[in-house]
Structure 1
Amino acid sequence: MFETLSGPWLPQLIQAHGLWMLFALVALESMGVPLPGEAALIGAAVYAGSAGELGIASVIGAAAAGAIAGDNLGYLIGRRIGLPLLRRYGRHIGLTPERLKLGQYLFSRHGGKIVFFGRFVAFLRAFAAVLAGANRMAWPRFLLANALGASCWATLFGLGAYQFGEEIHRVAGPAAVVVLVAALAFLLLGAHLLRRREQEWTVRALAELPDEPPG
């Protein structure tokens, strides 16, 4: 059942490389690299709950540390590159002009809240740190919001997936399949609602922020 949820590759990677693999995947995703950091956290926590070969505290710690490290590197990259270069080249890493406008719009109004809650939203999880640096958010403020957001994200997702793994370990047969399908449906619904919210914010950002030259 665990392999159905996360793919057959994750148990082997964790067994071969330990929690360093989880740390690396989360850190790289936090820097803007398109890797499944959140999926790795969920998969590792489910594995911890179902197989009992990992401690959930270690899983949560590795994910939180990876998120904080990756976000701070992303912040430095954004600070060094700045908005002009991101406008010119950002599309190559998924930062389209519309998403840059969205980032400016959100940071100008919410700042630290975006860093904290962005950890729970796919687009912002990957690019919030880069956008925070590019928009010249003060680093101490960024670090506090980032550390709190990363810790809460790793704990909530880690404990939730760990509990799910324990239930999968206890329940067998058709009941386990029903639980899995319900969980996946819930995740897909949440992703759809967040995507709609991102589109609404983008429309507002394009309406309120003036066009600027690419560099």
Structure 2
Amino acid sequence: MHMFEHIDFNYLLATYGYLAVFIGCLLEGETILILGGMAAHQHVLKLLPVIGYASLAGMLGDQVLFWVGRYFGARLLPRLHKQQATIDRVTQLINQHPSVSIFSVRFLYGMRLVGPMVIGACKVSPLKFSCINALGAVVWATLFASGGYWAGEFLERALGDLKPYRLPIAMCVIALMVAVALVRHYRAKQQGLKSL
């Protein structure tokens, strides 16, 4: 633990926190957003900018995937054999409830990346997608950042002052994220072997 004594965790979070929230929400999302909410509870970051950066990142990420689906979906989607069940579910949802599917796709597990591409490939109006996507991104960011904020409140009531625990909490979250990534990779590899 001696090597971490000179790390000013508050400075790192305050300096790079919003950038980390933006990049994290562009790539993955919920975990970094919950951490951003917890950092806001600890007054290292402010809650409204966390929600703002997360909303912007979530909206931009889905917009890019939408346009990828719109221009390359016909060639790209048939190659995603492992995602075929998800593609079929999203396609069915779009055909039955287009507005609901645009709004809710970011909340549905396993559909976050493929969903916007399928919506783009289904030739949904770009203006309609942009408006509903923006609303969905704001609601998503508000819910998860607020969840992180209230998780910080709960932990503070349970543990007292959280400042001494910031580095161990961050290390545990990083370890958890690596473990989740490894499990996903292993499962994808196993499914690939089964399909051979």
Q: TM-score normalized by structure 2? A: 0.70
Distance 2:122 2:139 in 1: 24
Alpha-carbon offset, residue 166 of structure 1? 2.2
After superposition, residues 15-164 of structure 1 pair within 5 angstroms as: 15=14, 17-28=16-27, 36-49=28-41, 51-88=42-79, 90-91=80-81, 96-164=83-151
> Does the CA contact (< 8 Å) of 2:13 and 2:45 recur in 1?
no
Which blocks of at least 5 consecutive residues in structure 2 are unaligned?
1-8, 161-196
- Relative to structure 1, is the Cα distance of residues 83 and 157 closer, same or farther in structure 2, using a 3 angstrom cutoff? same
For residue 29 of structure 2, what is the amino acid of its counterpart? G
> Does the CA contact (< 8 Å) of 2:86 and 2:114 recur in 1?
no
Alpha-carbon offset, residue 135 of structure 1? 1.2
Alpha-carbon offset, residue 100 of structure 1? 1.7
Distance 2:85 2:151 in 1: 37
> Does the CA contact (< 8 Å) of 2:22 and 2:57 recur in 1?
yes
Aligned residues: 152
For residue 69 of structure 2, what is the amino acid of its counterpart? G
Distance 1:24 1:142 in 2: 22
Per-residue deviation, residues 139-192 of structure 1 (Å, max 9, x unmatched): 11111111111111111221122122123223327xxxxxxxxxxxxxxxxxxx
Distance 2:147 2:59 in 1: 20
Alpha-carbon offset, residue 107 of structure 1? 1.0
Alpha-carbon offset, residue 13 of structure 1? 6.7
Q: TM-score normalized by structure 1? A: 0.64
> Does the CA contact (< 8 Å) of 2:14 and 2:44 recur in 1?
no
- Relative to structure 1, is the Cα distance of residues 82 and 157 closer, same or farther in structure 2, using a 3 angstrom cutoff? same
Q: Which moved more, 1:159-168 or 1:144-153?
A: 159-168
Distance 1:96 1:135 in 2: 16
For residue 116 of structure 1, what is the amino acid of its counterpart? F
The secondary structure found in structure 1 opposite 2:150 is helix
Distance 2:157 2:39 in 1: 13
Distance 1:97 1:141 in 2: 25
Distance 2:25 2:76 in 1: 25
Question: Sequence identity, in percent?
Answer: 31
Distance 2:10 2:67 in 1: 33
Alpha-carbon offset, residue 15 of structure 1? 4.7
**RMSD of Structure 2 on Structure 1 (CA):** 2.2
Which blocks of at least 5 consecutive residues in structure 1 are unaligned?
1-9, 29-35, 174-215
Distance 1:24 1:16 in 2: 14
